[in-house]
A and B are shown apart, each in its own frame.
Chain A
């Protein structure tokens, strides 16, 4: 169960995490060790066991279809990194 540096960088890309070159090997080694240990989960027989997503299996609450939020844009955007005329700005995306 070994993660190469290339694998690690691929996962980092998926997760949008910049990993510096000098750190990539370290992360790869750490993750390899961690995953190697965790891989022992593969040794337990789980045939016909239904995965448990919620510890308490109940019905979730629903809400009525009414407008219940008054949006205070200024309050919600206070402290936003880059806002202009009510828009959030990011570097130009080319589609």
Chain B
């Protein structure tokens, strides 16, 4: 077959594969070629694994020939380098794990591979998932395909950039305070953070255990739903994963939005939001109204403390989760340690970048004697208040709509010197993680050529509804199908 125009979405590829228009090997080679040609500009991949991918693709073709026909069979994907992959190194974009080989696959990886997906490589990210710009990576920053002088967002910046640049149809991401939704917004793609406990965290290297969730990223809500089907499910190896009856997240995509009650949190539409993005939110709300939804204002009174509460909790958990990186059993070890204390502090001092060190220091501080009550315990109390706000809102409406980020993609280097500014850009996303609710970002406009993302927040376990709203919106808009020039 001479270079057909490969369809861009997972859904369309799935149909084409089923119809025999091309093989999975061909499709995979198509992406590998694009990565090879274009990723120098974006640095969205840390590791590309062509041999591994082709072997998986060939296997998928064999399975298809034998009669299998699952929606994900033979579909390539990009895997955030935070998911353990046996045989392919897993680095978390850190010097600490720069050469680390996990002895096992993450549950998410096992499930995607069991469904027949083909792993093109491991994507770039902020180091240990700590960041909102993908600038803290040991392997260099990833760049936004819409403007390579700008950040793609983070921490799942590589995955978002790869999808936006059409270097993979879909990708895995993880979201602790917005790390799927925010890069999806800045790169003009769709990304979902599921309800906490939906996706197993086994093999998903921990940043903040009570907040981390893995989720899918793609060009459309439909693709995200297809991938979500394979990623979710209780796992005996993760005590926090939640047992639920099996669900098809595609089931409600086609349902009209008639009667849907959409709430827009007043606190999200405040002075901190750029007017251009506010306009996108308003237009989106109008579109949803046209599709049958009703819009009303709701209040999340404690929204203003979500960022500090989040950072206190996340840093505390991270400071503990990262204690295992000590140069003893795996990972970076300093040369010629003079004693144990030196082994620890130098291996960790060398292995971790500045942002990781900052968060470990903050986390250690807020847990330390004399500070625990005023900081960590207080933050967990705020967490309950924030959760209560959302629960109250959902008594009133079915889904919340708002901006994903206060601004569009900022320039590389612009915020990295001021951590606080970076943190404050998470104002719309962090509360969702604290409450454990599902949240999605979908493309909803452009400002000065840069994508704007709209966030939909659902009630517990209501991913189907959130995906339905996004899908219906995407049937009536085309933001999601725009392609950056750099990807052509």
Question: A residues bordering B, Cβ < 8 Å?
Answer: 3, 8, 11-20, 27, 30-31, 33-35, 37-42, 44, 46, 49-56, 58, 60-63, 72, 75-82, 88, 90-93
B429 to chain A, nearest CB (A): 15
Residue of A nearest to B436 (CB): A55
Kindly state whether residue B52 has any CB partner on chain A within 8 Å.
Answer: no
Interface membership of B477, Cβ < 8 A: no
B432 (CB) vs chain A CBs: closest residue:
A55
Contact yes or no, A18 B348, CB < 8 A? yes
- The answer to whether A12 and B361 have CB atoms under 8 Å apart is yes
Q: How far is the CB of B117 from chain A (nearest CB, A)?
A: 25
Name the contact of A50 in the complex, choosing from B384, B420, B435 (C-beta under 8 A): B384
Query: Are A34 and B362 CB-contacts (below 8 A) given A40-B305, A44-B305, A55-B210?
Result: yes
Residues of A within 8 A of B99 (CB): 79
CB of B274, distance to nearest CB on chain A (Å): 21
Docked complex Cα distance between A41 and B240 (Å)? 27
A8 engages B333 (CB within 8 Å): no
From A39, A49, A76, B381 is in contact (CB under 8 Å) with A49
The answer to whether residues A51 and B361 also contact, given A61-B239, A79-B330, A91-B343 and a CB cut-off of 8 A, is no
Cross-chain pairs A/B with CB under 8 angstroms, 21 sampled: A12-B345, A14-B368, A15-B360, A17-B348, A18-B348, A37-B420, A40-B308, A41-B375, A42-B378, A46-B381, A49-B381, A49-B384, A51-B380, A51-B384, A55-B436, A55-B437, A61-B243, A88-B328, A90-B340, A91-B337, A91-B343
Q: Is the CB of A93 within 8 A of B340?
A: yes
The answer to whether residues A41 and B348 also contact, given A31-B358, A35-B365, A81-B333 and a CB cut-off of 8 A, is: no
Q: In the complex, are the beta carbons of A60 and B345 less than 8 A apart?
A: no
Q: How far is the CA of A92 from the CA of B382 in the complex (A)?
A: 45
**Chain B contact residues: over half helix, strand or loop, or mixed?**
helix
Please tell me the size bucket of the interface on B.
35 or more
Instruction: Given A27-B358, A46-B385, A76-B103, output 11 extra A-B contacts at Cβ < 8 Å.
Output: A3-B365, A15-B348, A17-B345, A34-B362, A34-B423, A38-B308, A40-B305, A41-B305, A44-B302, A55-B196, A81-B330
**A27 to B357 CA separation, bound complex (whole angstroms):** 9
Q: Taking A46-B382, A50-B384 as contacts, is the C-beta distance between A78 and B101 under 8 angstroms? A: yes
B410 is an interface residue with CB less than 8 A from chain A:
no
Q: Are A56 and B330 in contact (CB under 8 A)?
A: no
Report the nearest B residue to A93, measured CB to CB: B340
Residue of B nearest to A34 (CB): B420
Check B309 for interface membership: any CB of A closer than 8 A: yes
A15 close to B364 (CB less than 8 A) = yes
B383 interfacial contact with A, CB 8 Å: yes
Which residue of A17, A51, A77, A93 contacts B383 across the interface (Cβ within 8 Å)? Answer: A51
Q: Does B374 contact A (CB under 8 A)?
A: yes
User: How many whole Å from A87's CB to the nearest CB in chain B?
Assistant: 11
Partner of A19, one of B329, B357, B381: B357
With A17-B352, A56-B197 in contact, is A50–B381 under 8 Å at CB? yes
Q: For residue B234, which residues in chain A have a CB less than 8 angstroms away from its CB?
A: 61
Interface string of B423-444 (1 = CB under 8 A from A): 1000000000011110000000
Contact A31 B365 (CB under 8 A): yes
Q: Is B311 an interface residue (CB 8 A)?
A: yes
B345 to chain A: closest CB distance in Å?
A: 4
Q: How far is the CA of A52 from the CA of B387 in the complex (A)?
A: 9
A56 and B319 contact, Cβ closer than 8 Å, known pairs A15-B364, A79-B99, A90-B328: no
Assuming the contacts A41-B379, A61-B239, A80-B329, asked whether A15 and B361 have C-beta atoms less than 8 A apart, the reply is yes
B contact residues around A16 at 8 Å (CB)? 323, 326, 341, 344-345, 348
Is B346 within 8 A of A18, CB to CB? yes
Q: In whole Å, how far is A69's beta carbon from the nearest beta carbon of chain B?
A: 11
For residue A44, which residues in chain B have a CB less than 8 angstroms away from its CB? Answer: 302, 305, 382, 385
| Beta-carbon contact of A49 and B385 below 8 Å | yes
A52 to B310, CA, bound (A): 12
Q: Quick check: B349 and A52 within 8 Å, CB to CB? A: no
Please, which residue of chain A has its CB at the minimum distance from the CB of B301? A44
Q: How far is the CA of A79 from the CA of B380 in the complex (A)?
A: 39
- Among B312, B337, B361, the most chain A Cβ lie within 10 Å of the Cβ of B361
A21 to B362, CA, bound (A): 19
A57 to B311, CA, bound (A): 21
- Residue pair A58, B360 in contact (C-beta under 8 Å): no
Contact partner, B377, options A33, A39, A51, Cβ 8 Å? A51
B364 touches A14 (CB 8 A): yes
B331 within 8 A of A: yes
Q: How far is the CB of A35 from chain B (nearest CB, A)?
A: 7
Is B419 an interface residue, CB under 8 A from the partner? yes
Closest 4 CB pairs of A and B: A55-B436, A18-B349, A51-B380, A81-B333
The answer to whether A58 touches B362, judged by C-beta atoms less than 8 angstroms apart, is: no
Bound complex: CA A42 to CA B376 (Å): 11
- In the assembled complex, the Cα of A92 lies from the Cα of B63 at a distance in Å of 54
Distance between Cα atoms of A44 and B382 in the complex (Å) = 8
State whether B309 touches A11 (Cβ < 8 A). no
Once the chains bind, are B308 and A37 in contact (CB under 8 Å)? yes
Complex Cα gap A77–B101 (Å):
11
